[in-house]
């Protein structure tokens, strides 16, 4: 139902579906309404030309050709659907054979299918028509069988794509049969593209069937379909052209209806499966040529690349981001950390203007001096498309699986920078080389599934570099990658940052990783920034949450006899209303103030030297152009916290790290292991 | 009683030898850590154990009995690194977990699923959700719950904490230790993080270029490494 609504949202969808609906209405009602009239012979008007009484004229028995054309809709559509069903069914069977029967037999089936695909469809069709004999049934089989190989191949490719995902493997390891996996996991995940192909296939079947009938190989009289009517009309094409043209027009209309419907579903389905991000990214990239002059001219380059003030993101009934503010200087690397659901990704998406309704964004975002608004116009889209690049966690869903990597990269330059096909392709190859993909020329011609996870992620970064971005937002860019590939990808991002002076927002749950790569870190908790800290000062973090996070990671010095520190409880849901500090239920320092009044971000307190010689003093001088950080009197080399903290008890010593043993009750364990 | 033993395993993909004549034992009730650089064959070895990688030579034994080379064996369960690929987007997470449960009565199923969800710190009410509604960290917890649901004799964990929140990493590592201590769960634990291995594993094996260059009790391997590559790994740890 939901997908139907999506299809209907576009003009194409509405047009295609109403056309198809009309065809089906005709197929159902025409024989009921005019079935008899269409077979009534009128000896007074044999072979009559078109007239007010007989719009398209009559045939050699004086039957009304217009009515016959309308009545023929049912048989035509039924036969086309029959042939499609046969082809689809066979195609699915053959295409999923490797998944069902295992690799060896599967390979055999696949090879056979590949050979069959190489035969021209019409040839197969004629071949089968000869075998099955002339007539409806023969033609259904002929067309169905002829369509099967193509469908099988598509099905096979789709199945193979899903099959290599871990959830399929996991199900197999859990002892599920191949058939179970096929029906429960694989087919549901490829349903949409199959439906699209089947719909478009029905259109071609209709055309082919009409062709066969027209050649006299399909429907035989006294039955009649559009092809048959065209065949009969052909004899007198010079005397009464309408007799052949009317069914011909309907063939084209119905064929188009199927095709366009398939097309419309395909578009709606893209939105649905590859997630709104991808389309939104594409939309964000729907920007042309270059950054508006005002923003690229050197003399007006703003001090900061990005300024975010009191950013809020809300959904009906929840507030996942509740006031985030920060600046970003050119070339600066900022990390955003926090546990799952803290609002890190939403912050990134909001900056890129990718929050979709019903989500709502409040607050100010200024990018390269331009205030961004959700309803921003052409200029904003240009700016975002060329100057901001995004890298997401899941590179597979960010690429269209059906298109070559190179094309997908080139498209950005073609559409948004106005390059021609050739130049754009060359730029794509060049960018793939820039992200250290070896043999970029060949790789550009490959499909996403032919890339390894790390390569896909690099290609995605390459995609971000098609234009000349000033800001790179990377949301967990390496979480789904093998750890050492992670290092390579992060190194790549680093070098890109240096070479092209790009500012970076690195979103990650991994505090250690972020600390290694970024100069400054925002620690988020429940939709707020709780600590804004230079990476070098992590050791002297002042927010209890940051400190507990650091204590939860084992080091080579961790005591092996006690459990690791765990932060008890969990982050509040974004639908919760707070009266005080969101961390209070989990905080060892929480008191009544914490529970009633929410702490705001304030400057961190200067560190006190523990030998009490002289207090260290951290001073931050902010001028319009730069930020000067001084450390007066502190121990030389000791890290100084020049950031901000939101806590009533910032910097106070935590009670000797309470190590909560999460030993579980026996009955919980009884269900696990043997 | 379940000792997992890899015997002279060699895995080739075309002309590439991913795992080269590896012999490794995961003693009953122990956690053995496996560390090594990308492409050194860690994941391939793990996949060979659960029947997912084609072994050209060698065999995998569970308590001395060869594990079927054709298709996966239920007593060996695996947890994957990527929580985005390891859950079916079209299946409710409760069903995903239930799928791995050994045959149990329907009535019992819900209780078991709830217990497993609690075990990985998820609200049992989440059982009705689809993966799209979970954050990355929450998905990985579901994946762990699913592996535990099958009541494995040996659990193979491939970088299971590297995609997890720091705040839950600790509790998962604690959980691994608890399971091992109380139930004697046998585990092959792959991680790039030596500090993590030091914490959970009794023995550590270091892999490089498809072979194991050093294996021994954790304290010994980390304290007095013999192989130059192990020394290199130790030196690369930040803050040292
Ligand atoms: N489209 C949406 N509708 C309603 N709530 C949403 C939506 N998208 C995200 N949320 C909620 O907003 C909160 C913050 O989500 P966000 O994705 O920003 O978290 P995150 O910090 O990136 O977490 P992770 O580390 O797991 O990626 C979560 O509780 C999430 O469930
Ligand atoms: S304000 Fe209170 S509850 Fe919140 S983090 Fe600080 S000490 Fe803990
Ligand atoms: Mg996120």
Most trustworthy range by pLDDT among A381-390, A538-547, B154-163: A538-547
A450 — pLDDT class (breaks 50, 70, 90): confident
Compute the distance between CA of residue A666 and CA of residue A580 in angstroms, rounded to an integer. Answer: 36
Stronger pLDDT, B72 or A453, i.e. the higher one:
A453
Q: Which residue has the tokens 């046969």?
A: A86
Instruction: Name which of B39, B165, B174 is nearest A340 (Cβ-Cβ).
Output: B165
The binding-site residues of ligand 2, defined as CB within 6 angstroms of any ligand atom, are: A 544, 581, 583-584, 587, 589-590, 594, 599, 647-649
Last-in-domain residue among A525, A553, A571: A525
By DSSP bridging, strand B203-208 and strand B211-217 are: antiparallel
**Alpha helices (H) along A465-584:** 483-500, 511-517, 544-551
Q: Could you please report the per-residue DSSP string of A359-390?
A: -EEEEEEEETTEE--TT--HHHHHHHHHHEEE
Last-in-domain residue among B130, B152, B174: B152
Helix (H) or strand (E) holding B78: strand B76-79
Q: Which domain holds residue B46?
A: 4-70+154-235
Q: Are A518 and A600 found together in one domain?
A: no
Q: Are A263 and A292 found together in one domain?
A: no
- Predicted confidence at residue B26, as pLDDT, reads 93
Last-in-domain residue among B105, B131, B152: B152
CB distance A438 to A449 below 8 Å = no
The lowest-confidence range among A296-305, A474-483, A575-584 is A296-305
Last-in-domain residue among A482, A498, A525: A525
A272 — pLDDT class (breaks 50, 70, 90): very low
- Predicted confidence at residue A668, as pLDDT, reads 34
Q: Which domain holds residue A492?
A: 281-525
Q: Are A296 and A268 found together in one domain?
A: no
CB pairs under 8 A between A and B: 201
A405 contacts: CB under 8 Å, gap ≥ 6: A399, A428, A432, A443, A444, A445, A446, A447, A448, A451, A459
CB distance A473 to A389 below 8 Å = yes
Q: What is the atom index within ligand 1 of the atom nearest the CA of B165?
A: 25
Within a domain: residue B76?
Answer: no
Q: Are B191 and B137 found together in one domain?
A: no
Instruction: Name which of B84, B184, B199 is nearest A554 (Cβ-Cβ).
Output: B199
Q: Are B159 and B230 found together in one domain?
A: yes
- Token representation of residue A586: 């989990």
* Dihedral class, residue B8 (left if φ above 0, else alpha if ψ from -120 to 50, else beta): left
> What are the E-state strand segments in A379-499?
388-391, 471-475
A531 — pLDDT class (breaks 50, 70, 90): very high
- Predicted confidence at residue A99, as pLDDT, reads 83
Cβ contact, residue pair B171, A662, below 8 Å: yes
Residue A399 has pLDDT above 80, yes or no: no
Residue B134 has pLDDT above 90, yes or no: no
Cβ contact, residue pair A509, B43, below 8 Å: no
CB distance A221 to A135 below 8 Å = no
- Ion ligand 3 residues within 5 Å by Cβ: A 345
Scored b (16 or more CB within 10 A) or e, A237-250 reads eeebbbbbebbbeb
- Predicted confidence at residue B1, as pLDDT, reads 54
Residue A563 has pLDDT above 60, yes or no: yes
Other CB atoms within 10 Å distance of the CB of residue A618:
21
Compute the distance between CA of residue A478 and CA of residue A486 in angstroms, rounded to an integer. Answer: 5
Average pLDDT over residues B121-129: 86
Mutation target among B88, B110, B200, B201 for the A interface, most CBs of A within 10 A: B88
A616 — pLDDT class (breaks 50, 70, 90): very low
B152 contacts: CB under 8 Å, gap ≥ 6: A673, B74, B75, B76, B77, B185
Within a domain: residue A408?
Answer: yes
| φ and ψ of A334, to 5 deg | -115, 130
- How many residues in chain B? 240
CATH classification at residue A289: 3.40.50.300
Cβ contact, residue pair A549, B166, below 8 Å: yes
* CB within 8 Å of chain A, chain B residues 75-114: 76-78, 80-91, 96, 99-100, 112
Query: CA-nearest residue of chain B to A525?
Result: B167
Within a domain: residue A532?
Answer: no
Within a domain: residue A618?
Answer: yes
Contact list, A455 vs chain B (CB under 8 Å): none
Cβ contact, residue pair A172, B222, below 8 Å: no
Burial level of A670, CB count in 10 A (0-12/13-18/19+)? exposed
Within a domain: residue B120?
Answer: yes
Q: Are B121 and B160 found together in one domain?
A: no
Average pLDDT over residues A422-429: 89
Cβ contact, residue pair B85, A672, below 8 Å: no
Average pLDDT over residues A222-228: 89
- Predicted confidence at residue A624, as pLDDT, reads 38
* Cα A339 to ligand 3 centroid, rounded to whole Å: 9
Within a domain: residue B213?
Answer: yes
Query: CA-nearest residue of chain B to A565?
Result: B170
Residue A634 has pLDDT above 80, yes or no: no
Within a domain: residue A285?
Answer: yes
Residue A608 has pLDDT above 70, yes or no: no
Instruction: Name which of B80, B168, B173 is nearest A554 (Cβ-Cβ).
Output: B173
Query: Mutate which of A578, A585, A599, A651 to test ligand 2's pocket (most atoms within 8 Å of Cβ)?
Result: A599
Compute the distance between CA of residue A536 and CA of residue A543 in angstroms, rounded to an integer. Answer: 15
B159 in reach of chain A (CB within 8 A): yes
Percent of chain A with pLDDT over 70: 84
A637 — pLDDT class (breaks 50, 70, 90): low
Measured between CA atoms, how close is A558 to chain B, in angstroms? 8
- Give how far Cα A549 sits from Cα of A309, A511, A639, A653, B165, Å: 26, 8, 18, 15, 9
Q: Are A444 and A577 found together in one domain?
A: no
Q: What is the mean pLDDT of chain B?
A: 84
CATH classification at residue B33: 3.40.50.300
Within a domain: residue B185?
Answer: yes
Domains in chain B, number: 2
- Predicted confidence at residue A414, as pLDDT, reads 79
SS (H, E, C) A3-45: HHHHHHCCHHHHHHHHHHHHHHHHHHHHHHHHHHHHHCCCHHH
- Give how far Cα A40 sits from Cα of A53, A67, A243, A380, A566, Å: 14, 10, 17, 67, 86
- Predicted confidence at residue A485, as pLDDT, reads 65
Burial level of A38, CB count in 10 A (0-12/13-18/19+)? buried
B73 — pLDDT class (breaks 50, 70, 90): low
| Nearest by Cα to A287 from A403, A408, A411, A456 | A411
Mutation target among B48, B93, B115, B166 for the A interface, most CBs of A within 10 A: B166
Q: Are A265 and A364 found together in one domain?
A: no
Average pLDDT over residues B34-53: 82
Within a domain: residue A234?
Answer: no
A674 — pLDDT class (breaks 50, 70, 90): very low
The lowest-confidence range among A103-112, A334-343, A596-605 is A103-112
CA-nearest residue, atom 10 of ligand 1: A320
Measured between CA atoms, how close is B177 to chain A, in angstroms? 9
- The model's pTM: 0.64
Compute the distance between CA of residue B142 and CA of residue B130 in angstroms, rounded to an integer. Answer: 11
The lowest-confidence range among A321-335, A436-450, A485-499, B49-63 is A485-499
Contact list, A553 vs chain B (CB under 8 Å): 166, 169-170, 195
B31 in reach of chain A (CB within 8 A): no
Domains in chain A, number: 3
Q: What is the atom index within ligand 1 of the atom nearest the CA of A527?
A: 14
- Predicted confidence at residue A604, as pLDDT, reads 81
Measured between CA atoms, how close is A305 to chain B, in angstroms? 29
Percent of chain A with pLDDT over 90: 14
CB distance A208 to A143 below 8 Å = yes
Measured between CA atoms, how close is B184 to chain A, in angstroms? 8
Compute the distance between CA of residue A61 and CA of residue A39 in angstroms, rounded to an integer. Answer: 9
Cβ contact, residue pair B179, A172, below 8 Å: no
B214 — pLDDT class (breaks 50, 70, 90): very high
Average pLDDT over residues A448-468: 78
Q: Are A474 and A547 found together in one domain?
A: no
CB distance B109 to B98 below 8 Å = yes
Cβ contact, residue pair A484, B76, below 8 Å: no
- Predicted confidence at residue B97, as pLDDT, reads 93
Q: Are B177 and B223 found together in one domain?
A: yes
Measured between CA atoms, how close is A510 to chain B, in angstroms? 6
The lowest-confidence range among A87-91, A247-251, B40-44, B131-135 is B131-135
Stronger pLDDT, A480 or A89, i.e. the higher one:
A89
Q: Are A152 and A214 found together in one domain?
A: yes
Compute the distance between CA of residue A98 and CA of residue A110 in angstroms, rounded to an integer. Answer: 8
Tens digits of residue pLDDT in B80-115: 877 778 899 999 999 999 998 887 777 888 999 998
- Predicted confidence at residue A544, as pLDDT, reads 92
Q: What is the mean pLDDT of chain A?
A: 78
Q: Are A505 and A591 found together in one domain?
A: no
- Predicted confidence at residue A566, as pLDDT, reads 72
Q: Which residue has the tokens 């067309």?
A: A143
Within a domain: residue B77?
Answer: no
- Give how far Cα A116 sits from Cα of A112, A121, A203, Å: 6, 9, 21
CB distance A84 to A144 below 8 Å = yes
CB distance B98 to B117 below 8 Å = no
| Nearest by Cα to B189 from B201, B179, B180, B178 | B201
Within a domain: residue B85?
Answer: no
Measured between CA atoms, how close is B113 to chain A, in angstroms? 10
Cβ contact, residue pair A175, B72, below 8 Å: yes
A112 — pLDDT class (breaks 50, 70, 90): confident
CB distance A3 to A269 below 8 Å = yes
Cβ contact, residue pair B165, A668, below 8 Å: no
Within a domain: residue B223?
Answer: yes
Cα dihedral: A534, A536, A542, A544 (round 10):
100
* Cα A66 to ligand 3 centroid, rounded to whole Å: 61
CA-nearest residue, atom 6 of ligand 2: A647
Instruction: Name which of A171, A552, A673 is nearest B179 (Cβ-Cβ).
Output: A673
Residue A655 has pLDDT above 80, yes or no: no
Residue B45 has pLDDT above 60, yes or no: yes
Residue A12 has pLDDT above 90, yes or no: no
A270 — pLDDT class (breaks 50, 70, 90): low
A661 — pLDDT class (breaks 50, 70, 90): very low
Q: Are B60 and B173 found together in one domain?
A: yes
Compute the distance between CA of residue A538 and CA of residue A472 in angstroms, rounded to an integer. Answer: 24
Residue A288 has pLDDT above 60, yes or no: no
Other CB atoms within 10 Å distance of the CB of residue A116:
18
Compute the distance between CA of residue B134 and CA of residue A340 in angstroms, rounded to an integer. Answer: 9
CA-nearest residue, atom 3 of ligand 2: A584
Q: Are A549 and A625 found together in one domain?
A: yes
Tens digits of residue pLDDT in A142-195: 888 888 888 888 888 888 878 877 888 888 887 788 888 888 888 888 888 888
Residue A630 has pLDDT above 60, yes or no: no
């Amino acid at each position: 139902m939901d997908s139907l609504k999506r299809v209907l949202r576009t003009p194409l969808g509405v047009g295609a579906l109403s056309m198809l609906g009309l065809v089906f209405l005709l197929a159902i009602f025409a024989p009921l309404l005019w079935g008899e009239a269409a077979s009534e012979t009128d000896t007074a008007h044999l072979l009559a030309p078109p007239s007010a009484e007989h719009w398209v004229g009559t045939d050699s028995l004086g039957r009304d050709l217009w009515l016959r054309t309308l009545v023929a809709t049912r048989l035509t559509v039924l036969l086309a659907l029959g042939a499609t069903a046969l082809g689809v069914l066979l195609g699915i069977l053959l295409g999923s054979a490797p998944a069902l029967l295992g690799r060896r037999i599967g390979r055999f089936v696949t090879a056979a299918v590949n050979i069959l695909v190489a035969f021209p469809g019409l040839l197969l069709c004629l071949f089968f028509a000869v075998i099955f004999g002339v007539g409806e049934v023969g033609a259904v089989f002929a067309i169905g069988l002829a369509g099967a190989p193509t469908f099988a191949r598509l099905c096979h490719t789709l199945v193979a794509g899903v099959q290599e995902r871990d959830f399929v493997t996991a199900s197999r390891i859990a002892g599920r049969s191949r058939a179970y996996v096929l029906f429960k996991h694989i087919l549901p995940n490829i349903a949409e593209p199959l439906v699209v192909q089947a719909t478009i296939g029905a259109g071609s079947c209709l055309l082919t069937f009409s062709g066969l009938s027209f050649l006299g190989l399909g429907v035989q009289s006294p039955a009649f379909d559009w092809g048959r009517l065209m065949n009969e009309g052909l004899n007198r094409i010079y005397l009464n052209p309408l007799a052949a043209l009317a069914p011909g027009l309907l063939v084209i209309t119905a064929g188009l209806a199927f095709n366009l419907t398939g097309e419309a579903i395909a578009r709606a389905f893209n939105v649905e499966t590859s997630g709104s991000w991808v389309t939104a990214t594409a939309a964000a990239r729907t920007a042309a040529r270059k950054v508006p002059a005002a923003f690229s001219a050197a003399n007006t380059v703003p001090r900061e690349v990005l300024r975010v003030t009191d950013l809020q993101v809300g959904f009906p009934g929840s507030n996942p981001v509740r006031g985030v503010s920060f600046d970003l200087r050119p070339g600066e690397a900022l990390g955003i950390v926090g546990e799952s659901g803290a609002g890190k990704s939403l912050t990134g998406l909001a900056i890129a203007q990718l929050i979709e309704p019903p989500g709502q964004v409040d607050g100010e975002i200024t990018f390269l001096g331009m205030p961004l608004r959700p309803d921003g116009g052409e200029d904003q889209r240009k700016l975002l498309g060329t100057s901001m690049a995004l890298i997401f966690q899941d590179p597979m869903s960010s690429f269209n699986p059906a298109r070559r990597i190179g094309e997908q990269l080139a498209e950005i330059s073609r559409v948004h920078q106005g390059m021609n096909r050739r130049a754009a392709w060359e730029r794509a190859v060049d960018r793939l080389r820039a992200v250290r993909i070896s043999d970029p020329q060949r790789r550009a011609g490959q499909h996403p599934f032919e890339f390894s996870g790390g390569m896909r992620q690099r290609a995605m970064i390459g995609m971000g570099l098609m234009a000349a971005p000033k800001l790179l937002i990377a949301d967990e860019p390496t979480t789904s990658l093998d750890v050492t590939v992670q290092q390579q990808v992060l190194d790549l991002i680093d070098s890109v940052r240096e070479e092209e002076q790009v500012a970076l927002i690195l979103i990650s749950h991994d505090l250690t990783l972020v600390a290694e790569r970024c100069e400054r870190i925002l620690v988020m908790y429940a939709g707020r920034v709780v600590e804004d800290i230079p990476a070098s000062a992590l050791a002297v973090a002042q927010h209890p949450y940051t400190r507990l996070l650091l204590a939860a990671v084992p080091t080579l010095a961790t005591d092996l006899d006690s459990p690791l520190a765990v932060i008890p409880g969990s982050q509040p849901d974004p639908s919760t209303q707070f009266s005080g500090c969101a961390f209070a239920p989990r905080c060892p320092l929480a008191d009544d103030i914490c529970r009633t009044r929410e702490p705001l971000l304030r400057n961190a307190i200067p560190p006190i030297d523990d030998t009490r010689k002289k207090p260290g003093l951290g001073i931050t001088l902010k001028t319009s152009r730069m930020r000067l950080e001084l450390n007066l009197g502190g121990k030389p080399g000791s890290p100084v916290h020049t950031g901000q903290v939101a806590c009533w008890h910032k910097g106070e010593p935590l009670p000797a790290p309470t190590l909560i043993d999460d030993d579980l009750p026996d009955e919980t364990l009884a269900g696990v292991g043997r | 009683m379940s000792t997992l033993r890899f015997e002279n395993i060699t895995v080739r993909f075309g002309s590439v030898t991913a795992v080269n004549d590896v012999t490794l034992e995961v003693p009953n009730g122990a956690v053995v850590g496996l560390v090594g650089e990308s492409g050194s064959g860690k994941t391939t070895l793990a996949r060979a154990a659960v029947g997912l990688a084609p072994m050209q030579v060698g065999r995998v034994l569970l308590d001395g009995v060869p594990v079927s080379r054709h298709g996966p064996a239920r007593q060996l369960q695996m947890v994957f690194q990527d929580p985005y690929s390891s859950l079916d987007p079209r299946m409710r997470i409760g069903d995903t977990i239930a799928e791995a449960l050994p045959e149990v009565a329907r009535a019992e199923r819900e209780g078991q699923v709830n217990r497993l969800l609690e075990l990985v710190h998820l609200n049992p009410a989440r059982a009705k959700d689809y993966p799209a509604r979970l954050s990355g960290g929450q998905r990985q917890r579901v994946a762990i719950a699913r592996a535990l649901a099958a009541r494995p004799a040996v659990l193979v964990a491939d970088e299971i904490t590297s995609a997890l929140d720091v705040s839950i990493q600790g509790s998962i590592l604690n959980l691994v230790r608890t399971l091992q201590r109380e139930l004697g769960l046998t585990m092959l634990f792959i991680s790039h993080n030596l500090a993590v291995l030091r914490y959970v594993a009794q023995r550590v094996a270091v892999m490089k270029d498809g072979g194991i260059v050093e294996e021994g009790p954790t304290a010994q391997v980390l304290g007095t490494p013999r192989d130059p590559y192990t020394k290199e790994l130790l030196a690369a740890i930040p803050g040292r």
